[in-house]
Chain A
Amino acid sequence: MNGAQILLKSLECEEVDTIFGYQGGSAIPIFDALYGSKMRVIIPRHEQAAAHAADGYARATGRVGVCFSTSGPGATNLTTGIATAYMDSIPMVVFTGQVKTWLIGNDAFQEADILGITRSISKHNYLVKDVKDLAATIKEAFYLARSGRPGPVVIDLPVDVQTQECEFEYPQDVKLRSYNPTMYGHPGQIRRALKTIYEAKRPVIMAGGGVILSGASKELREFAEKMRIPVISTFMGLGVFPTKNELSLGMPGMHGSAYANLAITECDLLISVGCRFDDRVTGKLDEFAPKAKIIHIDIDPTSISKNVNVDVPVVGDAKNILAQLIQEIKEEKITEKKEWIEKINEWKKQYPLKYERKEKKWIKPQYVIEEVCRMADEDAIIATEVGQHQMWVAQFYSFEEPRRFLSSGGLGTMGYGFPASIGAKIACPEKQVILFAGDGSIQMNIQEMATLKTYGINVKIIILNNNSLGMVRQWQELFFDKRYSGTPLNNPDFVTIAKGYGIKGIRVEKTGDVKSAIEKILKFKGPILAEFLIEPEENVFPMVPAGKAINQMIGGMS
């Protein structure tokens, strides 16, 4: 077997059914091995999209996403996707072609030091110089990608290694003395955490993406309901706790709900599960949860006490730790937090997420999102790009289950959503997949309409068009004296663009047409693009200005 065949065989051993990749001089042997193989290969129109699609595939399923490219420019085009996955801890294995081993370091044609480039944006990376190491390296890469705090792992594969012959033997297991993620919470810390929880009068849980990654949503719900503790879901955690549950407080932080931010500010105990206290969540650190003790459950020790000082750290897998906590609960020690829950319900009533519902010239983006949420299948997967529309979706779409919301949280990558929606639809063909995009971000990977057409991938594209890079425009309006520099966009006709790619497109200009348009696109058999002309000056509120405490919101409490 040659290296490329070993690669494919190893992927089969890892039960990979789909890979996303793009041809090129240093990937030809891989494509040659794929010729006539059972492996499903999706070829996008840009390597960046291959990486994001693999990421979307991983987020929608919890499995490891796989993508590959040629060397040099192919590999550097993957890097935005690798960095995106790294920031959100998404398991991926990324193969990059490399120039021949004896040319490495010679500035050969299409050579780039992808190991050096991806060092700080991947969980780990490898250069395989000998085909005999290939199978074991792939085994290790998959293990690293999906275990502990997941993340992307890069394997750089010189083209001559792809053609070298060697016997195939896939290792049974991986042993790494230097890598042993802690899976269970220390019993002493579990007891300390519970004691702290029993003593709290105003506790609140903040659940993040780690809960989704560890599949701990069920345990989280059981724990919160048993202990009667309200739950905030961070942006990355949306879906871990049902929005409709009375204990749900939605999203905190810069564009979070006033009641979530007030709950954090007033609570006497913050139980953080699988979140890393990102600056978009905490606002001004000194004034974040000023009255609270903090319990921090996280599998990554570096996340603990990195940004906020933690009183009770519990390192380990969220699912296991929550199960440990549930098992140790002593019913008689659970207190009714009636006053606290009433207070929160009051805030919810007083300061709901809202927008101007009066019909005006332009369509309100929040209205489109609410209507899609109302009409779409309950288990629809929603992908977004980055910007205002992303925050409106986070605020106004209700996510009842995990893995239904795909969005670049940490890196904030415009251009992520569209290819991610493709990956998700391929992973979950039976589910409705809907993309919300802005007019700016859709153009970062708009060429993927060709991929939709080629494979008949049934993604519904909704563009909320305000002819502007709206989120930055909002900052300029509020903090830069309305000097709109670099934000107005001179856009193409999106419907015509879609048509050019052989995809149906519609434009919706009036609020009165929104419902029927959404009905139409959801019923339409096949991919379709719908552009909604939205209020150009609509802002995302509430908003915590940069550097302010999270209870100092613009527009949340008026």
Chain B
Amino acid sequence: MKHTIQALVENKFGVLSRVASLFSARGYNIYSLSVGETQDAEVSCITLVVEAPDEKILEQIKKQLHKLIDVITVVDLTRRGYVDRDLILAKVNKDEKIGEVLSKYMIKVLLETDEYYLLEICTERQHEEEIIKDLEKIGIQELVRTGRIAISK
């Protein structure tokens, strides 16, 4: 099962590599990782989406993360109410069918050139895959996305 874990860490040199190498050294599966400052410039927030095959491994992931000296708190958001988002940027073909997609979902057109529309998609997770499917029909030239960030309710 996938879990969204939020770790607040000291905003210090090397913290991200400590977290990343913990996952590789212990063989935990990680889907996405994103890191950024919080309202407190001394604290960063690392959001991890991990695959934990069972409770035991999930517990280990949380405890091992917490054991890192620079990690302040570790919360498994999956257990609580939370809102999460990631951001997708995509270049899609110039096709009039785009109008339909744009009206259906919350999508921003950031740029229009002769070759493509540059779209910004930031929506709920369950809609993302639908949107991507619809865009594939139009033709995706390039697509990138951030790791997920999440916040508790």
> Which of under 10, 10 to 19, 20 to 34, or 35 or more describes the interface residues of A?
10 to 19
Interface segment among A116-124, A252-260, A394-402: the answer is A116-124
Bound complex: CA A410 to CA B59 (Å): 23
- Contact partner of A176 among B9, B25, B60, B69, CB < 8 A? B69
| A120 contacts B21, C-beta separation under 8 Å | yes
Q: Name 9 A/B residue pairs within 8 A (Cβ), A-sorted.
A: A119-B21, A120-B22, A127-B13, A127-B14, A144-B69, A177-B72, A178-B71, A300-B67, A301-B66
Taking the complex as formed, is A35 at the interface, i.e. its CB lies under 8 A from any CB of chain B? no
19 additional A-B residue pairs with CB within 8 Å, beyond A120-B25, A305-B59: A116-B21, A119-B21, A120-B21, A123-B69, A124-B69, A127-B13, A127-B14, A177-B72, A178-B9, A178-B70, A178-B71, A300-B67, A301-B66, A302-B60, A302-B63, A302-B64, A302-B67, A305-B56, A309-B56
Contacts of B17 in A (CB 8 A): 116, 119
> Which of under 10, 10 to 19, 20 to 34, or 35 or more describes the interface residues of B?
20 to 34
Contacts of A144 in B (CB 8 A): 69
Taking the complex as formed, is A333 at the interface, i.e. its CB lies under 8 A from any CB of chain B? no
1/0 contact trace for B1-43 toward A, CB 8 Å?
A: 0000000011001100110011001000000000000000000
Taking the complex as formed, is A179 at the interface, i.e. its CB lies under 8 A from any CB of chain B? yes
Q: Nearest B residue to A116 by beta-carbon distance? A: B17
Interface positions of B (Cβ within 8 A of A):
9-10, 13-14, 17-18, 21-22, 25, 56, 59-60, 63-64, 66-67, 69-72
Bound complex: CA A300 to CA B60 (Å): 12
Given known A115-B14, A119-B18, A178-B10, contact A301–B71 (CB-CB < 8 A): no
- Contact partner of B63 among A177, A179, A301, CB < 8 A? A301
Contacts of B18 in A (CB 8 A): 119
Contacts of A338 in B (CB 8 A): none
Q: Nearest A residue to B60 by beta-carbon distance? A: A306
Bound complex: CA A300 to CA B66 (Å): 11
Contacts of B22 in A (CB 8 A): 120
Contacts of A178 in B (CB 8 A): 9-10, 69-72
Contacts of B25 in A (CB 8 A): 120
Bound complex: CA A300 to CA B64 (Å): 10
Give min CB distance, B94 to chain A, whole Å.
44
Q: Nearest A residue to B9 by beta-carbon distance? A: A178
Contacts of A116 in B (CB 8 A): 17, 21
Contacts of B10 in A (CB 8 A): 178
Closest 4 CB pairs of A and B: A178-B72, A302-B63, A124-B69, A120-B25
Bound complex: CA A309 to CA B55 (Å): 11
Contacts of B67 in A (CB 8 A): 300-302
Give min CB distance, A304 to chain B, whole Å.
8
1/0 contact trace for A242-277 toward B, CB 8 Å?
A: 000000000000000000000000000000000000
Contacts of B72 in A (CB 8 A): 177-178
| A179 contacts B69, C-beta separation under 8 Å | yes
Contacts of A301 in B (CB 8 A): 63, 66-67
Bound complex: CA A179 to CA B73 (Å): 10
